[in-house]
Amino acid sequence: MFEISILKDTIPIHPSDFGLPPEQALIAELNKKYANRVLHDVGLCVCTFDITEAGEGKVRYGDGFLWYKVIFRMVVFRPFPSEIILAKVKSVDAEGMRLTLGFFDDVYVPSAYLPSPSTFDISRRQHFWVPPGDEEDPPNLLDVEEDRRMYIEAGDQVRVRVESDEFYDDEPGPPKATEGVTVQAIPRRSPYSIICSMSEQGLGPAAWWPSDDGDEEMDDG
Amino acid sequence: MEVVKKRAALLSNYEVLTLLRELENDHLTRAKTALKVKKEEVASNLNAGAGKDVRDVEVSENLRTMEVEAIQYFASDIQPAPYQTPEGIRELLRSLGPYNLTKAEKLQIVNIAPQSMPVLWAIIEEMEDRMTVDQMQEIIGLVQNSLTKETREPIQQTSHSVVNIIEDDQDAYGDDEGYMDVVDDAQFDDTGEGAGVEGDLDVDDD
């Protein structure tokens, strides 16, 4: 889930921080710049792990800052594909569900990746899974009687497998004045999103797979 | 900014949690020190040292958000990280050696701590071809052994620390003489880990 990335940057230290030990000032500055930020193709930065290497602070013409060239290690959130992570269901709609990890909530499970066979119950606005049973399933899953439906509700703790992740760099370009003042509302995409699946044994709400290994034979397919 | 190496090493959830808790404790201690300094200045009417104090590092809002939210994430009841110890994890990894697991699988066993067969099934690829049912049971047993029963209740502990700051606050106003002692006690409680902290705190407060 978490990993260490080695990054290199030039960091200015404000004169009011000259009283601090340089290392402390640099780490504070690095955290200010990177914590809770998504780096393209790297992941979501959590905090500075440590500084590997730092040069002498140099003063440039024009300001009183000390500029340090720093190589440092960053704790980054970036689950690898096929990793299993724990998350919480944030919201549900017919297309799938959105999960949250607390510090990160662009995790999606499209309905194709929900446990199969499953379908969306419009009246409850929740997805449910029908575990394989003795009798043949009716062609329409909504005809299955209530007590065989396993609902996935918002707020459930779920285990999911990471299928893929995507980065978007949506920096606004220079304004184009050719078409007058029409401003097109471009839907904002999140810079980093993860697509997950729960269509496997052992995945889905944690309550489905209790910790004692008593009768987990309910699912053999 | 330049990325030297994207994935230099993988961290387990436990390591990240420990790091974040350290930062959190650090931050709380510092907040307390800052309070103390302020109080001293008010008490002695000294505003001469108007510059920044040596210990006064600005903690960015983003880092605080990250700390608090991630610690909360790990506090959920199916997260194994609060129940883990460095020794437990080391022992678990050592005993997983003979099962021919990949590094990623071992990492996930540590992070998820599978305690039922289907979950282990999901973590280990093609498990049925690679090991026998007995071996799977053994792994689940090893995982269960690596977890301690009692948590260190990170959330509770943090809230205690906050309470402490507020209480120090009032003490400091009333009595400047015994003030240092109070702070020392509080700092001790703050970094202290393990059970029984709650009881100690009650005694101290009287």
In a domain, B162, yes or no: no
B18 and B75 assigned to the same domain = yes
Of B11, B57, B111, the CB nearest to A20: B57
Q: Do A212 and B116 touch (CB under 8 A)?
A: yes
Residue B139 and residue B89 in one domain: yes
- Domains defined along chain A, listed by start: 2-77 (3.30.1490.120), 84-171+188-208 (2.40.50.140)
What was the pLDDT predicted at A194? 92
Distance from A69 to chain B by nearest Cα, in Å?
Answer: 10
Encoding tokens for residue A136? 């043949």
Q: Is the pLDDT of residue A200 over 70?
A: yes
Cβ–Cβ contact B97 with A under 8 A: no
**How far apart are alpha carbons B118 and A125 in whole angstroms?**
28
Residue A191 has pLDDT above 50, yes or no: yes
Q: Does one domain contain both B91 and B122?
A: yes
Per-residue pLDDT, A8: 94
User: Which of A125-129, A151-155, A160-164, B40-44 is predicted least confidently?
Assistant: B40-44
Per-residue pLDDT at A134: 63
Q: Residues A167-182: what's their mean pLDDT?
A: 70
- Residue in chain A lying closest to B114 (CA): A211
CATH number of the domain that B127 lies in?
1.20.1250.40
pLDDT single digits (tens) B50-96: 444 545 556 778 888 888 898 888 887 778 888 888 888 888 888 88
Task: Measure in Å the smallest separation between the Cα of A58 and chain B Cα atoms.
Answer: 17
pLDDT of residue B104 exceeding 50, the answer is yes
Residue B93 domain-assigned (yes or no): yes
Residue pLDDT, tens place only, B167-204: 444 444 444 444 444 444 444 444 444 444 444 444 44
Q: Label residue A68 by pLDDT band (50, 70, 90).
A: very high
B82 CB-contact burial (10 Å; exposed 0-12 / middle 13-18 / buried 19+)? buried
> In this structure, is residue B200 part of a structural domain?
no
Same domain for B105 and B70? no
Residue B72 touches chain A, beta carbons under 8 Å: yes
Q: What is the pLDDT of residue B159?
A: 41
Could you tell me which residue, B138 or A214, shows the higher pLDDT? B138
Strands B2-11 and A204-205: unpaired
| Phi, psi torsion values for A65, nearest 5 degrees | -75, 150
Kindly tell me if the per-residue pLDDT of A73 is higher than 90: yes
Give how many domains chain B has, as a whole number: 2
- Per the domain annotation, does B33 fall within a domain? yes
End position of a domain, from candidates B146, B178, B196? B146
* Residues in contact with A100: Cβ distance below 8 Å, sequence separation at least 6, in sequence order: A87, A88, A89, A90, A107
Q: Place A196 in a pLDDT band, splitting at 50, 70 and 90.
A: very high
Q: Considering the entire predicted model, what is its pTM?
A: 0.74
Instruction: Say if the Cβ atoms of A86 and B5 lie within 8 Å.
Output: no
Please tell me the predicted confidence (pLDDT) of residue B203. Answer: 47
pLDDT value of residue B75 = 83
Task: Give the C-alpha separation, B23 to B30, whole Å.
Answer: 10
Residue B122: closest CA among chain A residues belongs to which residue?
A: A202
Would B191 be classed as within a structural domain? no
Comparing A25-34, A93-102, A186-195, A203-212, which segment has the lowest mean pLDDT?
A203-212
Residue A162 scores a pLDDT above 90:
yes
Q: What is the pLDDT of residue B58?
A: 66
Does residue B99 belong to the interface with chain A, where contact is any CB pair within 8 Å?
no
Tell whether B173 is covered by a domain. no
pLDDT value for A175 = 67
Q: Which residues of B fall within a CB distance of 8 Å from A80?
A: 104
Average pLDDT, chain A: 83
Chain centroid to CA A204: 17
Residue B130: domain span:
84-146
Determine the distance in angstroms separating the CA of B114 from the nearest CA of chain A, rounded to an integer.
Answer: 8
Domain end position, chosen among B146, B164, B189:
B146
- For chain B, the average pLDDT equals 72
Indicate whether A170 pLDDT > 50: yes
> C-alpha angle with apex A155: A154 to A161, nearest 5 degrees?
85
Interface of B with A in 16-35 (CB under 8 A): 16, 19-20, 23
Smallest CA–CA distance from B120 into chain A, residue? A202
B158 belongs to a structural domain: no
Residue A50 Cα, gap to closest chain B Cα (Å):
11
Q: Say whether the ipTM exceeds 0.90.
A: no
Beta-carbon separation of A41 and B6 below 8 A: yes
Rounded Cα distance between B156 and B173, Å, is 27
A5 contact residues in B (CB cutoff 8 A): 3, 5-8
Query: Do B65 and B106 sit in the same domain of this protein?
Result: no
Within 8 A of B59 by CB-CB distance, chain A residues are 28, 31
Return the amino acid letter for A70. V
Listed residues B92, B111, B146: the one ending a domain: B146
Top-confidence residue, A131 or B164: A131
A138/chain B closest Cα distance in angstroms: 27
Q: Stretch A146-155: mean pLDDT, rounded? A: 81
Confidence of residue A203 (pLDDT cuts 50, 70, 90): confident
Q: Do B118 and A73 touch (CB under 8 A)?
A: no
Domain match, B99 and B125 both: yes
